[in-house]
Amino acid sequence: MDLTFSKDEVEFRDELREWLAENSPGEEPRGDEDAIFAFRTGWQRSLYDSGWAAVHWPQEYGGRDATLMESAIFFEEMGRAGAPLPANVLGLLLAGPTIMAWGTPEQKDRYLTPILSAEEIWCQGFSEPEAGSDLAAVKTRAVRDGDDWVVTGQKVWTSGAQFSKWCMLVARTDPEASKHKGLSYFLMDMEQEAVQVRPLVQITGEAEFNELFIEEARIPHENMLGEEGNGWIVALTTLMNERSGLGFFLQVRLRQLLDKLVAEAVANGSIDDPVIGQSLGDMLERTETLRLTAYRGLSTITKYGQPGPEGSLTKWLWSETNQMMTQLAVDIVGPQALHKDNPWAYELLRARGNSIEGGTTEILKNIIAERVMGLPRK
């Protein structure tokens, strides 16, 4: 595809750059989840007030009808400006597009605007303790009771659940059906006593992730997204948006991290070490590969109208490269990189979760092998 920006795309980029220059969010707090959430909520409301919260959404739902290339420009410019992700990133990138694809007119009217304005935060209830990211092994049960579904089960690695009003929940509604066919997709109200949220403290000291304990939570039937038993297909829409939407943001952040690491190597002279030089060259090659793979995903959406499984490759490559780069930082910066007040210590510890969050590397490899390379299951 032609990656040269058109006149309209240049104007879009320049308008966004000017807005970001005049509306810098400032330095994001670190280590205090409540302060980080408040900071990102304020940032999303600034974006919303100026019409930048979800440029990829249709205008009828509050977006800008941005083209795929303009959406890519948006995420790249956000990364370059050092802006944080908005508080309701899962709502904007996952819940919103999934509701637009599968929701009834009533569901779209009810849920989309509060997602955009950060009035209602969303989390994703897919992973389970004994199933990991394998949706086919989900054990959380939903049983029909009149106009409601009664849900019992446990979810894990649920980002932002402590701040969420709604949860994208996949539960088993037909235990007799084959694994992928017995699932349904619900929009679950988190504000009920039957849903308990327990934070999972990470090695960084933060608690971005949570466990959900669900004991006979009630979900109105009207909150089912898509048809009963069709949850696997609806969930794939969510997952494909997850892995393609963040690609442009992540690749810019990765390149910024590499530039900082090169500066460290130049400053302390380790750049003259041929092993260090070769390792930094490998990081540059990986970063550029990630950037081009993100644009390749853009080309797939242009051709077929939906994100393809190649988005899994972007997420796999980013997580592996980020972990390798932060490990290389220890070799370049030295022991002080392990000091708690050194920013590289935070990057090193935070990167450990990259191969779990947003789909484990093992699951992503299976998707790529079967759906991209066409390899048999066994």
Active site residues: 242
In angstroms, the CA 118 to CA 160 distance is: 13
In angstroms, the CA 145 to CA 257 distance is: 52
Displacement of CA 81 from its chain's centroid (Å): 19
In angstroms, the CA 334 to CA 328 distance is: 10
In angstroms, the CA 193 to CA 308 distance is: 38
In angstroms, the CA 338 to CA 96 distance is: 40
- Counted residue by residue, the chain has a size of 378
Characterise 224 by phi-psi region: left (phi > 0), alpha (psi -120 to 50), beta (else).
Answer: beta
252-119-17 Cα angle (round to 5): 30
Pair 184, 231: CB distance under 8 Å: yes
14 Cβ contact partners less than 8 Å away, ≥ 6 residues apart: none
Q: Which two tokens stand for residue 74?
A: 């948006």
| Cα dist from 197 to 31, 92, 220, 259, 266, whole Å | 20, 22, 21, 39, 46
Instruction: Please give the DSSP secondary-structure letter assigned to residue 100.
Output: H
DSSP assignments along 148-193, one per residue: EEEEEEEE-S-TTGGG-SEEEEEEES-TTS-TTTTEEEEEEES-ST
